[in-house]
Amino acid sequence: MWILLLLVVGCLCGFLLFRQNTLTVAPPSNPGQRRLSVIIPARNEALNLPALLASLRSQTMRPYEIIVVDDGSEDGTGAVAASYGVKVVKNGSLPEGWTGKSWAVWNGYRHATGDTFVFLDADIRLAPQALASLIEARERTDGVISVVPYHYTEKFYERLALIPNVLGTFAFTSIFEKSNPKKGLYGSCIVALREDYETINGHESIRAEILDDLFLGSKFVEAGIPVTNYIGGGLVSFRMYPQGIRSEIEGFSKGAVLSTSTLSPWTIVPVALWVVGLVVSESVFAFVGTSWVWPLLIGYLLYMAQLFYFVKYVGVFGIVMPVLHVLSTLFFLGIMVYSAYQVTVLGHVRWKGRQVRVGGRREL
């Protein structure tokens, strides 16, 4: 009975953490009210950029300028961006003490002339009303906003990201993060006024941090500027790792362990209970033929039903992955172990061909 109680409590923690704070559609706004500078850091993103730049062309609220920062790409990223008629900035060599993405975003800012910044990763896709909705949400909250995009997946290995994606949504939408002084932003889609960004000295203030988005959020909070995180729903989406499972492992492992340091303890405890309940329920396969199989099976089915509910808001993961969620859990646990190994043993993480020391320095 105590096992079933543990599983029920763990499952309930998921509902406690998950918030349907979905970005809603706003009516078209007057572009003259805000001059939007869209800044896109891009390193080897020739395949992703066309979809993003095409979606920016179709916006009901047209941006004032679009800046693509070509961060030392080797695949024609700059040429692809130029073919869309946007401003292309060649990123300079990476200075000591900076991480690659922060340096690219900072250089984009230095070339921007708008009064509102929309920072987008190259794999983002925007519905036609997305920019108008982002600006409306920022005006309503009178602070800085970010969006956890809806994750489209196609290949089996991409769908292994189910559990990491659900946990990421917990971390950014948890009600317990509202008062967290270390509250983070989701780096794929951030909107901020120029004056707010300059108040904290932007990405220069977190230039050495691997988790630039999380620490950027805490800088805004420290300055008294509200931070609000949304779920992308049908407006903001992405496909994260179409290049292969290696990039998926690198992407998730670079911050899996370090990101927990910014969460409120009030978030960490229910997350831990949810994960423990999930793992315990998945041990059902080891107890077939024993009396433990029935409470474990009930727990497994409860988590399965819950995951089917969550994926409506989190992304496209098919039918198989929520049913065989044990596969995604094993992937998540492997990511955590690999992330811990990189941080504690190697002292650096690898991302997009760069090795970044924990603490921010680049390895040659």
Residue 194 confidence class, pLDDT cut points 50, 70, 90? very high
Residue 357 confidence class, pLDDT cut points 50, 70, 90? low
Averaged confidence pLDDT in the chain? 89
- Is 31 a residue whose pLDDT tops 50? no
What's the average model confidence in pLDDT over 235-242?
Answer: 92
Quote the pLDDT of residue 359. 52
- Is 62 a residue whose pLDDT tops 70? yes
DSSP 94: P
- Is 361 a residue whose pLDDT tops 70? no
Quote the pLDDT of residue 238. 95
Give the integer Cα–Cα distance in Å for 298 and 302.
6
- Is 330 a residue whose pLDDT tops 60? yes
Q: Which of 16-30, 173-187, 296-310 has the lowest mean pLDDT?
A: 16-30
- Is 364 a residue whose pLDDT tops 70? no
What is the pTM assigned to this prediction? 0.91
Give the integer Cα–Cα distance in Å for 170 and 164.
10
Question: Residue 50: which of 16, 79, 73 has the closest Cα?
Answer: 79
What's the average model confidence in pLDDT over 138-162?
Answer: 95
Quote the pLDDT of residue 208. 83
Quote the pLDDT of residue 344. 77
Between 209 and 191, the higher pLDDT residue: 191
| Nearest-10 crossing angle of helices 265-281, 2-17 | 130
What's the average model confidence in pLDDT over 311-337?
Answer: 95
Q: Which helix (H) or strand (E) holds 307?
A: helix 293-314
Quote the pLDDT of residue 262. 82
Write the pLDDT tens digit of every residue in 71-95. Answer: 888 888 999 999 999 999 998 788 8
Strand-strand pairing, 348-351 and 354-357: antiparallel
- Is 30 a residue whose pLDDT tops 80? no
Quote the pLDDT of residue 362. 40
Give the integer Cα–Cα distance in Å for 6 and 323.
20
Query: What is the secondary structure of 254-299 as a DSSP string?
Result: TTTTGGGGGS-HHHHHHHHHHHHHHHHHGGGGGSTTSTTHHHHHHH
What's the average model confidence in pLDDT over 23-32?
Answer: 69
